[in-house]
């Protein structure tokens, strides 16, 4: 079992969806030239975060999978022999849309080298995060996937807060969990709550790494956005300040790499699957699980 050089692309986004795709493509190539074999882009990287409002016109930027983004990225996948995780606004059918991660692998013979997809399971509905307006909850379940680079699982943003998703994905054999993300501060809240919000976000994901004995790779965007998308202007006002802070944690929950809050970056780390084995030998949480006693976990609430 060899180490996998893994890269997270922390980037900012502009109004032009075409410009964002080309920027993402160039950053993936840069990571590949630095030796990365497994590369993850942030959530919905093709656009500024448009879910800050409910606007039917924005459904026009959704795309099919396979589609334009997977076609552009698959050319890089084939040329550089890299595996790429790309989060996209998927148009599945008229009136049916998902927040979907496509996993592109050089060994895949499917169209655009699509090894598989994961559709975001947990969909938030909070001020400036109106995702339920746009996205149907995923119907593929939690999935682990064997790629040329590693055995991985992909979840997306709001999925980060749920230990059930991480556990089920790890139980299917994933050694590395990816969380492409678009999360930031309401500017009016940053001074009072900003540090606590970021630390809670990082802590819950480090806990997933520890509880499951896996690597966790969380990649965010940076920059202040109003949600401008092509010629569709976002709402005037404070917008969102995306907090960056992308990181890679090992199975002990130790931070291997961490990006700044306000700069673009390519985080690169060599992830050794042997550490998963060693960690689980010493912290045998999977061995000691009481699978006979967890039936109530499927209840909404236990009165």
Q: Would you call 78 helix, strand, or coil by DSSP?
A: helix
| Cβ–Cβ < 8 Å for 64, 90 | yes
Task: Single out the catalytic residue among 157, 217, 225, 241.
Answer: 157
| Catalytic residue status for 43 | yes
Task: Single out the catalytic residue among 23, 37, 120, 143.
Answer: 120
The secondary structure element, H or E, covering residue 223 is strand 222-225
Cα–Cα distance, 169 to 184 (Å, whole number): 26
Cα–Cα distance, 298 to 303 (Å, whole number): 13
Helix ranges (H only) for the chain are: 17-33, 68-80, 163-171, 187-212, 273-282
CB atoms within 10 A of CB 165: 22
| Catalytic residue status for 157 | yes
| Catalytic residue status for 257 | no
φ, ψ dihedrals at 51, nearest 5°: -75, 10
Task: Single out the catalytic residue among 37, 43, 63, 90.
Answer: 43
φ, ψ dihedrals at 85, nearest 5°: -105, 120
Cα–Cα distance, 143 to 114 (Å, whole number): 15
- Token pair 């045998």 is found at 284
Enumerate the active-site residues.
43, 120, 157
């Amino acid at each position: 079992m060899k180490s996998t050089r893994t890269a997270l692309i922390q980037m900012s986004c502009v109004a032009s969806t075409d410009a964002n795709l080309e920027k993402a493509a160039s950053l993936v190539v840069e990571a590949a030239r630095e030796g990365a074999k497994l590369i993850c882009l942030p959530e919905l990287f093709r656009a500024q975060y448009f879910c800050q409002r409910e606007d039917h016109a924005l459904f026009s930027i959704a795309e099919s999978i396979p589609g334009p983004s997977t076609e552009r990225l698959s050319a890089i996948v084939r040329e550089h022999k890299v595996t790429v995780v790309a989060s996209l606004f998927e148009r599945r059918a008229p009136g049916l849309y998902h927040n979907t991660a496509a996993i592109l692998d050089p060994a895949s013979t499917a169209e655009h080298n699509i090894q598989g997809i994961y559709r975001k399971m947990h969909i938030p509905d909070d001020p400036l995060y109106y995702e339920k307006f746009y996205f149907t909850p995923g119907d593929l379940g939690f999935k682990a996937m064997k790629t040329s680079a590693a055995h991985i699982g992909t979840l997306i943003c709001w999925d980060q807060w749920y230990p059930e998703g991480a556990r089920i994905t790890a139980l299917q054999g994933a050694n590395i969990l990816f969380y492409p993300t678009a999360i930031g501060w309401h500017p009016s809240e940053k001074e009072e709550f900003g540090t606590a919000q970021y630390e809670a976000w990082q802590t819950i994901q480090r806990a997933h790494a520890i509880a499951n004995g896996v690597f966790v790779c969380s990649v965010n965007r940076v920059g202040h956005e109003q949600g401008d998308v092509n010629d569709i202007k976002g709402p005037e006002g404070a917008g969102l300040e995306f907090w960056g802070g992308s990181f890679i944690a090992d199975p002990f929950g130790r931070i291997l790499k961490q990006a700044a809050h306000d700069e673009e970056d390519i985080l690169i780390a060599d992830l050794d699957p042997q550490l998963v084995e060693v960690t689980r030998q010493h912290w045998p949480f999977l061995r000691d699980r009481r699978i006979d006693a967890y039936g109530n976990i499927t209840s909404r609430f236990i009165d």
